[in-house]
Structure 1
């Protein structure tokens, strides 16, 4: 009896892992960063710049992405295992730069505040979380999460599709170089 339940558990866990990998890495083998983008309807034209308009904070207040800052942008979801895995490193990176008035963090999800707030409270993250439910500019569009970008002066300096450790000397070097160019 116990061996059958163990087999069922292993099969269920393997299926879950396969589903997570499928959705994390795009499922069809296409490169989510360079995939051609369909033309947006006229009413929803998107910018070619790597900035988001229409962000709201978790209380519903509109927020403008600050174009004159070095920006760390992370697109994630609470249900995404790799997103959750990289969040502690993002928190550490944020702690390093949060007092620098030339750096801004935007941790963005398309989920609602009722879903995000309990996650944030449970994990005790102090990151600036936002909600975005519009079309992404083509340079930021992709079908996989997590995806993260370091943006400065309208250019994507670094991008990563998939989970990464962001609390690294390499990341500091990119941000610090952008700060010197400010």
Structure 2
């Protein structure tokens, strides 16, 4: 008598392997798992270890939006700047997007807090299509100048927060939940600091 390969054990194993391969090779599936881990408290931004440091000349660091409007970090002195480098193919980037959007919505009307989400691939059309599909409304930019390694060394996602004096107050590499109450308080504290 021939044994069937469709035993309960084999089916469960095949489903487990299929799920594992999906998470391993499909960026949106991996992002979904990471997003779930963020919701339970993993991937918190570590703001307690951050020190304010003076970067290179901020006026030479520029970004351009889809309408070719150029924004210089030097022009944003006096504001808290949330700068995030990301890409549509990067699962950790996609995982943190809902939290970044919540943070953005919290401060969208605040003229003292500026958000710059920078597409590291330089393909604004593709990145904007992704943001539109997800109903994310934050501003999208491309790099329009050289970026010093102290700000972005190529690791995705990278998030930098500048204080009102243009100093780096936060430098995070990897996915994090930026909508956490602790991080929101951190942004409010930076905003309250005198220039």
* TM-score, normalising length: structure 2: 0.68
1:75 equivalent among 67, 85, 94: 85
Report if aligned partners of 1:157, 1:174 keep a CA contact under 8 Å in 2: no
1:59-117 superposed Cα distances (whole Å, 9 cap, x missing partner):
22222331221011111011111101101111111111111111101111132222112
| Residue of structure 2 equivalent to 1:171 | 183
Within 5 Å, give how 1:17-166 maps onto structure 2. 48-49=56-57, 53-65=61-73, 66-110=76-120, 111-132=122-143, 134-152=145-163, 153-166=165-178
Secondary structure of the residue aligned to 1:59 is coil
1:20-48 superposed Cα distances (whole Å, 9 cap, x missing partner):
8xxxxxxxxxxxxxxxxxxxxxxxxxx71
Aligned length: 156
Secondary structure of the residue aligned to 2:102 is helix
RMSD: 3.0
Report if aligned partners of 1:75, 1:148 keep a CA contact under 8 Å in 2: yes
Partner Cα distance (2:126, 2:154) in 1: 21
Which structure's CA Rg is the greater one?
A: 2
* TM-score, normalising length: structure 1: 0.72
Report if aligned partners of 2:58, 2:72 keep a CA contact under 8 Å in 1: no
Report if aligned partners of 2:152, 2:158 keep a CA contact under 8 Å in 1: no
Q: Which moved more, 1:171-180 or 1:84-93?
A: 171-180
